[in-house]
Amino acid sequence: MKYPLKGYAVLTIFLGLLAGSVFLWQKERAGNSSNEALGLTPERIEKAKLALADCDKVRKQDPQLFKAVSAVMFKLDPMGINYQTNTDEYDPEVGLLIPQLKKCSSPDDVAGALFEIFKSQFDADMAGKRERYDGLAKEIWKIWKKL
């Protein structure tokens, strides 16, 4: 029996949610608050929910730009989280960056925006130095100017 691609996506999401639920349930049974064990404070969870909602709005406003910026972030992988199959990994950061592009007047401005976004989404140590984003900023600037 053949399943459409959409069916696989729904099945994958369902299995992921199920596995996550089992993991969290096991953590709670072990006496740890599952969210705390994962470092997820209520504030971080709320921040993530808001970021996802904003990300969806930005994606709907300009899907072509969103897709292009997401692809270049995944390709250049500034945080080292490209595992070949998680192509949407940088979408929250793309959702935060695109509205800021209107205020940027150079690749240097884009690099500064990227640096601030990654510091807020990860932390200052993980984000590294601002120069880390120069190459990515140049590529995003080319996309921004072309579209």
H-type alpha helices, the chain: 5-29, 34-37, 42-61, 63-76, 91-101, 107-121, 124-127, 134-146
8 A C-beta contact, residue 99 and residue 60: no
Tell me the domain boundaries of the chain: 1-40, 41-146
Query: Residue 121: which pLDDT band, with cuts at 50, 70 and 90?
Result: confident
User: Which pLDDT belongs to residue 101?
Assistant: 97
User: Which pLDDT belongs to residue 1?
Assistant: 46
Which of the pair, 28 or 101, is modelled with greater confidence?
101
> Is residue 14 scored above 50 in pLDDT?
no
> Is residue 134 scored above 90 in pLDDT?
yes
User: Which pLDDT belongs to residue 145?
Assistant: 95
The pLDDT tens digits of the residues spanning 48-85 come to: 788 788 888 999 999 999 999 999 999 999 998 888 88
Query: Residue 28: which pLDDT band, with cuts at 50, 70 and 90?
Result: low
The pLDDT tens digits of the residues spanning 34-43 come to: 555 555 678 8
8 A C-beta contact, residue 112 and residue 131: no
User: Which pLDDT belongs to residue 3?
Assistant: 46
pTM above 0.85, yes or no: no
